[in-house]
């Protein structure tokens, strides 16, 4: 695709589009910073990639700003050089990010996934830098950074630069939207009821967490580990959704607006450069998709565990599929196949006649 960086009309008036390109990159950087602040600081590979994308966006904003104020005559590189190499670099990133992000999810329960936070930080930082370095090397060897002049209309000439779009991101989002939409069609009649039950479970979970935090604050460090409730709670909708569809439902409720917008843009051939398409919304959506796949694969042996760094409440939709709910006290399910109650040693301190008394249960 071609980006118009300047144009000259029949009267000889010259218009430079550097300020518009700067506005686009500035809006993208603001959106990425907002998404990063909502997602929190992460130690995973995709979390480090999110931080690196924000840093590179800030660098591009700085380059466009300096080019706008200094002028092309006094700048070391041209605007076309920046656009072409940036688009090629961003265009080369999605596939390695997805592969390494999936690998990072697979390593979560292994020895490498149980390393210290500092070790994870070093490993993911090194991988992130390696991906960026390889993408930059690829861009310098495969792009044409020379601008071209075209006669667009009678008396109007434009100065254009060749930039790349990320076809992988476009078709990935279109395919994901189509797959989720087609999967939900056979269950349309039950989706509102299941969504209502999931909302009730989520509200009940928040109330239990607030009550538990109050109890822990006013009493002692007493912890119980409980299995999954045998009898389904009141309000359970029958038939219950299968686990795979319950997780797809949780994913779609969070990301369907973004998927729909991406699918419409791709269907209407609305072409966007790769340095705009590769943003933190796409990265977080991809991270949620990969995390949901791994949650589904591991849920049979790990139960409704809470995967790290996710936007979708996967445990809620696990309980929606099973027709259960979490116990009043926060707990970690040690073995979902054994529905037993394991009571740990609990030391309670009481005051009798203003003297501390220790009682064990």
For residues 231 and 148, state if they share a domain.
no
Band of pLDDT at residue 197, cut at 50, 70 and 90: confident
Are 86 and 185 contained in the same domain? Answer: no
| pLDDT value at 264 more than 60 | yes
Pick from 183, 41, 63: nearest CA to 120: 41
Same domain, 257 and 323: yes
Residue 341: predicted pLDDT: 42
Does pLDDT of 258 surpass 80?
yes
Q: 18 in a domain, yes or no? A: yes
d(CA 347, CA 361): 7
Asked if residue 153 and residue 93 are part of one domain, the reply reads yes
Query: How do residues 63-97 score in pLDDT, each as one tens digit?
Result: 888 888 877 666 667 888 888 899 999 999 999 99
Q: How many domains does the chain have?
A: 2
What mean pLDDT is predicted for residues 294-323? 78
Q: Is 185 found in the same domain as 40?
A: no
Q: Are residues 146 and 199 in the same domain?
A: no
What residues have CB less than 8 Å from 135, skipping those under 6 apart?
Answer: 89, 90, 92, 93, 96
187 and 146 share one domain: no
146 and 191 share one domain: no
Domain boundary among the residues 134, 164, 194 is at 164
Higher per-residue pLDDT: 172 or 231: 172
At 127-185, the pLDDT tens digits run 999 999 999 998 887 787 777 777 766 667 878 888 899 999 999 999 999 999 999 99
Q: Give percent of the chain above pLDDT 90.
A: 29
pLDDT-derived band of residue 236, with 50, 70 and 90 as boundaries?
Answer: low
Which residue, of 164, 192, 224, is where some domain finishes? 164
Tokens describing residue 45: 């590979």
Dist CA 171 CA 269 (whole Å)? 12
The pLDDT, as a whole number, for residue 109 is 67
User: For residue 170, what pLDDT is reported?
Assistant: 92
Q: Which has the higher per-residue pLDDT, 11 or 199?
A: 199
Helix (H, G, I), strand (E, B) or coil at 347: strand
Is pLDDT of 58 > 90? yes
Assess whether pLDDT exceeds 70 at residue 313.
Answer: yes
| Of residues 100 and 226, more confidently modeled | 100
Q: In terms of residue numbers, what domain contains 225?
A: 174-270+279-360
Q: Given strand 148-153, what is the order of strands in its sheet?
A: 14-16, 2-8, 156-162, 148-153
In a domain, residue 169? The reply is no
Domain boundary among 136, 164, 192: 164
Give CA separation, 339 vs 19, 225, 227, 235, 303, in Å. 63, 11, 5, 22, 11
Asked if the model's pLDDT at residue 355 lies above 80, the reply is no
For residue 238, tell me if it sits in a domain.
Answer: yes
Give the model's pLDDT for residue 30.
94
Specify whether 249 is located in the same domain as 332: yes
Residue 28 forms part of a structural domain = yes
Q: Look at residue 198 and tell me if it is in a domain.
A: yes
Q: Which two tokens stand for residue 51?
A: 């931080």
Confidence of residue 346 (pLDDT cuts 50, 70, 90): very low
Q: Cβ neighbours of residue 296 under 8 Å, at least 6 residues apart? A: 243, 244, 247
342 in any annotated domain: yes
The chain-wide mean pLDDT, for the chain, equals: 78
In a shared domain, residues 142 and 203 = no
- Spatial distance between the Cα atoms of 129 and 137, rounded to a whole number of angstroms: 12
Domain-located, residue 296:
yes
Report yes or no: 314 and 306 within 8 Å, Cβ to Cβ.
yes
- Are 182 and 160 members of one domain? no
Is 252 within the bounds of a domain? Answer: yes
Residues 129 and 192 occupy one common structural domain: no
């Amino acid at each position: 695709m071609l980006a118009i960086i300047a144009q000259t009309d029949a009267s000889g008036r010259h218009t430079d589009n550097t300020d518009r390109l700067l506005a686009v990159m500035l809006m993208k950087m603001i959106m990425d910073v907002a998404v990063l602040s909502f997602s929190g600081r992460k130690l995973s590979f995709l979390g480090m990639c999110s931080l690196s994308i924000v840093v590179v966006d800030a660098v591009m904003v700085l380059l466009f700003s300096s080019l706008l104020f200094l002028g092309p005559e006094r700048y070391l590189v041209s605007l076309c050089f920046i656009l072409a190499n940036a688009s090629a670099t961003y265009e080369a990133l999605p596939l390695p990010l997805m592969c390494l992000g999936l690998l990072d999810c697979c390593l979560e329960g292994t020895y490498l996934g149980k390393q210290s936070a500092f070790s994870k930080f070093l490993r993911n930082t090194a991988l992130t830098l390696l991906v960026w370095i390889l993408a930059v090397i690829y861009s310098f060897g495969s792009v044409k950074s020379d601008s071209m002049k075209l006669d667009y209309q009678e008396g109007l000439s434009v100065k254009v630069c060749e930039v790349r779009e990320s076809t992988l991101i476009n078709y990935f989002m279109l395919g994901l939207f189509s797959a989720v939409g087609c999967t939900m069609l056979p269950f349309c009649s039950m989706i509102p009821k299941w969504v209502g039950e999931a909302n009730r479970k989520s509200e009940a979970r928040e109330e239990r967490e607030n009550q538990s935090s109050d109890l822990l604050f006013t009493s002692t460090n007493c912890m119980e580990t409980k299995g999954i409730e045998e009898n389904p709670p009141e309000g359970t909708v029958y038939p219950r959704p299968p686990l795979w569809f319950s997780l797809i439902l949780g994913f779609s409720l969070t990301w369907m607006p973004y998927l729909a917008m991406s699918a419409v843009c791709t269907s209407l051939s609305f072409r966007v450069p790769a340095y705009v398409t590769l943003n933190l919304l796409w990265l977080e959506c991809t991270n949620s998709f990969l995390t949901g796949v791994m949650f589904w694969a591991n849920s049979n042996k790990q139960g409704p565990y809470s995967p790290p760094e996710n936007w979708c409440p996967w445990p809620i939709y696990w309980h929606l599929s099973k027709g259960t709910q979490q116990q009043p006290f926060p707990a970690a399910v040690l073995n979902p196949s054994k529905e037993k109650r394991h009571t740990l040693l609990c030391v309670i301190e009481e005051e009798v006649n203003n003297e501390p008394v220790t009682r064990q249960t």
